[in-house]
């Protein structure tokens, strides 16, 4: 490698996380927020400066580029490496002030913007294996944005290494940076033809060595309640309060089962993530998740049956449950050909890591891209405790991810 990888990763990552790129689920524009274009345009310029070919920021806010094959890799299939630029709207992402805890000594990490906040190995067990590494956190009042700017920095440092001809033989490599992954729209407009790769890898995973060939299957449910609005002073035997109906509906669901806080591993859930309304009309929004499509359908039936039961008990009200498909477990397609997964596993072993197969209790851009016909497993970035103020990553783990990606590109020339 012709440059200091750790220094390059750190410089990129610290710069990228300071660009506010929150997505917005309530927006109908593409991208959902203009601020995502700030980072996409920055990356566009950097790729051009590195010498990438076919650099294109599409009208659907996806940045694409090509790294040509080396002389010895011309027969290898085209592969793509992907990351998303947006961060979640679940916690503030504006004004990120990253802090590097150099050669971390194992003592609890505190935050200047929130003195009550403490990151320790008791709170985050994986942290105990990172003593001596450079741990990066935010300052306590924002998330860090490692999800997925760690992935963005990894792909960019990998691209620099390949473009500076560091000795890695590889086939044609495509780079792809998407918006709006956090709100499930990252590849809404990306076609396999635009990506122009036989296989792809998302850099959107957690601890070192993790590789994911399975995700949740996902639906969304919207339950609406239409009441009868009457002045409360004259409402006797007349008012039908939509908010009360919504509260009764959610209270009727199993309290200690099928919720995120009571499920783990391969268990699915029903999650109420948003509620709004007044006496006249109220709405509950749920996400439904499971690794098995039949069990996912059962979660929907629970809500639909409860809506029907409550409608029968309250004939003057209007109660409706609408369920919309979001994405499906990419494992149902990847299991037909596990070659990209096997190559990633071998690359990790060659890098000195033991691969860990970790089904994702969530989704990635790869979920829907796999469904569209481009098998796309997910690789580790080193990010931990994402979507909150305790989010952290180490520069050393990100470097291991870059080396894994470089080895993947090399192994495809031998496949």
> Could you give the residue numbers annotated as active site?
86, 181
Give the Cα separation of 111 and 143 in Å (integer): 12
Give the Cα separation of 88 and 62 in Å (integer): 18
Give the Cα separation of 281 and 318 in Å (integer): 9
Residue 83 makes CB contacts below 8 A (sequence gap 6+) with 148, 149, 151, 152, 154, 155, 176, 177, 178, 202, 203, 204
Instruction: Provide the 3-class DSSP secondary structure of residue 103.
Output: coil
CA dihedral 19, 49, 196, 79 (to 10 degrees): -90
**Are 219 and 321 contacting, i.e. CB atoms less than 8 angstroms apart?**
no
388-402 burial by CB neighbour count: b if 16+ within 10 A, else e? Answer: ebbbbbbbbbbbbbb
Beta pairing class for 199-205 and 79-84: parallel
Greatest alpha-carbon pair distance for the chain in Å reads: 84
Structure tokens belonging to residue 240: 């039908």
* Cβ-based burial of 139 (10 A; exposed 0-12, middle 13-18, buried ≥19): middle
**Are 302 and 253 contacting, i.e. CB atoms less than 8 angstroms apart?**
yes
- The number of beta carbons lying within 10 Å of the beta carbon of residue 44 is 19
Give the Cα separation of 15 and 198 in Å (integer): 32
């Amino acid at each position: 490698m012709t440059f200091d990888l750790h220094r390059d990763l750190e410089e990129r990552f610290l710069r990228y996380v300071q660009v506010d790129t929150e997505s917005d689920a309530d927006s109908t524009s593409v991208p959902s927020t203009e601020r995502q274009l700030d980072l996409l345009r920055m990356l566009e310029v950097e790729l051009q400066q590195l010498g990438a070919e076919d650099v294109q920021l599409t009208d659907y806010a996806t940045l694409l580029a090509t790294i040509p094959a080396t002389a010895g890799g011309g027969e290898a299939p085209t592969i793509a490496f992907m990351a998303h630029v947006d961060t979640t709207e679940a916690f503030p992402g504006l004004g990120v002030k990253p802090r590097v805890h150099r050669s971390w000594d194992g003592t609890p990490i505190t935050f200047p913007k929130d003195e009550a906040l403490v990151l320790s190995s008791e709170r985050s067990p994986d942290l105990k294996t990172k003593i001596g590494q450079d741990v990066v956190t935010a300052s306590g009042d924002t998330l860090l944005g490692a999800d997925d700017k760690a992935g963005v920095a990894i792909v960019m440092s990998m691209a620099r290494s390949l473009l500076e001809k560091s000795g890695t033989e590889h086939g044609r490599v495509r780079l792809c940076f998407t918006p709006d992954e956090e709100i499930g729209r990252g590849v809404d407009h990306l076609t396999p033809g635009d990506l122009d790769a036989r296989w792809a890898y998302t850099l959107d995973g957690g601890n070192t060595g993790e590789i994911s060939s399975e995700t949740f299957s996902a639906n969304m449910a919207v339950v609406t309640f239409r009441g009868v609005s009457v002045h409360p002073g004259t409402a006797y035997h007349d008012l039908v309060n939509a908010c009360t109906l919504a509260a009764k509906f959610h209270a009727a669901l199993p309290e200690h089962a099928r919720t995120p806080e009571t499920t783990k591993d391969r268990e699915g859930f029903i999650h109420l993530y948003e509620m709004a309304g007044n006496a006249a009309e109220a709405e509950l929004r749920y996400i439904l998740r499971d690794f098995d499509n039949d069990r996912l359908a059962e979660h929907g039936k629970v809500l639909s049956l409860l809506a029907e039961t409550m409608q029968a008990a309250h004939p003057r009200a209007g109660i409706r449950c609408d369920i919309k498909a979001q994405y499906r477990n990419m494992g149902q397609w990847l299991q037909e050909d596990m070659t990209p997964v096997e190559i990633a596993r071998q690359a990790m072993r060659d890098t000195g890591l033991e691969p860990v197969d970790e089904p994702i209790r969530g989704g990635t851009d790869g979920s829907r891209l796999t469904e569209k016909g481009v098998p796309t497993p997910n690789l580790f970035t080193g990010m931990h405790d994402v979507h909150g103020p305790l989010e952290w990553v180490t520069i050393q783990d990100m470097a291991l991810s870059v080396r894994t990606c470089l080895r993947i590109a090399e192994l495809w020339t031998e496949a």
